[in-house]
Amino acid sequence: MYGKATLSLVFALLIVLLLISYSILMGTVNFRSYFLPLLQSPATAHPLCATNPPLRVYMYDLPRRFNVGMLNLRNLEQTPVTDRNWPSWPKNSGLKRQHSAEYWMMGSLLYEGDGAEERDAVRVSDPEMADIFFVPFFSSLSFNTHGHVMTDPETEIDHQLQIDLVKFLLQSKYWQQSGGGDHVIPMTHPNAFRFLREQEGIVRVKLAKILAAYDDVHYERSVATDENIKVSSQGMRLSKFCLHPAGDTPSSCRLFDAIVSHCVPVIVSDHIDLPFEDEIDYAQFSIFFSFEEALKPGYMVNELRNFPKEKWIEMWKRLKKISHHYEFQYPPRKEDAVNMLWRQVKHKLPGVKLAVHRIRRLKVPDWWRRRR
């Protein structure tokens, strides 16, 4: 019963860094010497509009098995998670780090150090004071930890966690009041709560075949090891353009690796949701191609080879100014990725409150949606 329950999500923005499973690098050159005369102006970051007051978040107290307990299965500690005992993300975690947004979000709410006035979300102890409710379930890590092969018997542990979580939420007074509409459950892996997700990635395979014929286009397919991550990161930093075709999941990290490497992203998609786009204009530092354009032999490569040098420099400088918005860290910093995530949640708050108020008054729950 509970295993098939549908969870309402306020927000599950898929943003990831620091891991490269696939990368396609174009035009590897030492551009810092090649374009040196144009790269002299300072790249100071200009802050975006800060949110004031911050988003008030109530975080459920869940047992460690739902979150940090998965970071080290040998650690059987059951004490409540606090700022003082917050565990570091494990080294050599490979692919797991790609889908770790929920870890950084939870950590940002627990952190009690300096900079509270600069945060976009603060934890409140009284649920009656909360704007939204955060459910600290590491859904992606659960799938990656408890038998990521679908036929693995250990996958049942992930399944049971989902059942237990849904049972817990359905008994919550605050979930019942809103139908879960004001609850945040991050799901960055395509198989997190996998019965509710879809997959894709056909365009990337076709592009690999087309681009293989060009000497100045580097296509790498690699396993996510520390060494491969290092090599791919170096390749991005030495490239003028980094290709971002559709992947297996919206949490594909290629785009964000390109941004933090200051490599102009080449985004191939007919429709793509980009993080923070209501505050950040991607056209200022990215190049876009449709699927049809990208799959036309020679078209995209020729367009990039003829791309104006001055325009590329302008985009490169813009990347340097905005890349900090895509980096996670603990403790959190002003306008870093986790604070940008919370800001996006706050932007959705008026619509969430409208939906929740309608749910509470309507005798026919889906009347409004059916009417539209």
Q: Which residue is associated with the tokens 């996998």?
A: 194
> In angstroms, how far is CA 338 from the centroid of its own chain?
9
Q: Phi and psi dihedrals of 14, rounded to 5?
A: -105, 95
**pLDDT at position 48, please?**
59
At residue 79, the 3 state secondary structure works out as coil
Q: From 330, 350, 352, 349, select the one nearest 339 (Cα to Cα).
A: 330
Strand partners, 56: 122
Q: For residue 334, what is the DSSP state?
A: T
Strands 217-221 and 22-28: antiparallel
**pLDDT at position 272, please?**
81
> Tens digit of pLDDT per residue, the chain (372 long)?
444 343 433 333 333 332 223 333 333 333 333 334 444 444 444 455 555 789 999 999 999 999 999 998 888 888 889 999 999 988 777 667 778 899 999 999 999 888 767 789 999 999 999 999 999 999 889 888 886 666 666 678 888 898 899 899 999 999 988 888 899 998 888 777 764 444 364 566 666 666 666 666 665 655 555 566 666 677 788 889 998 886 655 556 778 889 999 999 999 888 788 889 989 999 999 999 998 998 898 999 999 999 999 999 999 999 999 999 999 889 999 899 999 999 999 988 888 888 888 877 775 555 555 555
Domains for the chain: give ranges and CATH numbers.
55-87+94-197+329-352 (no CATH), 202-326 (3.40.50.2000)
Count Cβ atoms below 10 Å from residue 265 Cβ, excluding itself: 24
**pLDDT at position 246, please?**
66
Burial annotation 16-52 (CB, 10 A radius, 16+ → b, else e):
bbbbbbbbbbbbbeebeeebeeeeeeeeeeeeeeeee
CA 204, 206, 207, 213 dihedral sign is positive
